[in-house]
Amino acid sequence: MISTSENPITDNSQNVDAFWSKIEKHYNESQPSIPRDAHNLRSHWHMFKSKLNRFNELFLQVKSRYRSGWSDDQYIQEARQLYINDPSNKTSNPFTYEHVWNVVKEHGKYNSATRIHGFQPPKRTKTSSSGVYTSSASDANFGENSEITISLEDIGKEDSEVQL
């Protein structure tokens, strides 16, 4: 699914039916003993994506409170516990989609490196009557013309002395 959704050629302009058809094809090629159609796969995704999103939010909360000496496993363990005790988890069941989260956590909106440090991916907007989506112009150029250089000598200087 990641390779289907992050295709730089089709980007975010692909039709929803074409998108799920590609996922169906990919799934059935990799899991031939359990064939599923696009409708089944889409329904299953919609059923658990809110749980996946909530677990990811909890993980990012835990990860943003840096603790010296903690490993990723310790952050994940705390996120698991928070998920069980979370008010939105009405059954208090453990998070059962960690295998999926492990696949998506470094991609797109789940990526902790971009989410923790405040960068949010730009929202799509329709730019023409043809239905083509694009990112806003101000967000599309994020960081293109900015250059930051910090030398070892700059680390000990006062903020007013460092030029960024």
Q: Indicate whether 82 pLDDT > 90.
A: yes
Q: Place 106 in a pLDDT band, splitting at 50, 70 and 90.
A: confident
Of the listed ranges 8-12, 58-62, 105-109, the least confidently predicted one is 8-12
Phi, psi of 52 (to 5 degrees): -60, -45
Of residues 137 and 93, which shows the higher confidence score?
93
Overall pTM > 0.85: no
Report pLDDT for 143: 44
pLDDT tens across 112-126, in order? 655 444 444 455 565
pLDDT tens across 23-32, in order? 999 989 988 8
**Token pair in block for residue 60:** 């990012």
For residue 126, give the 3-state DSSP assignment: strand
Distances (CA, A) of 131 to 1, 7, 128: 23, 18, 6
Report pLDDT for 123: 56
Q: Residues 98-105: contacts with CB within 8 Å, 24+ apart?
A: 98/55, 100/48, 100/52, 101/52, 101/55, 101/56, 101/59, 103/2, 104/2, 104/52, 105/56, 105/59
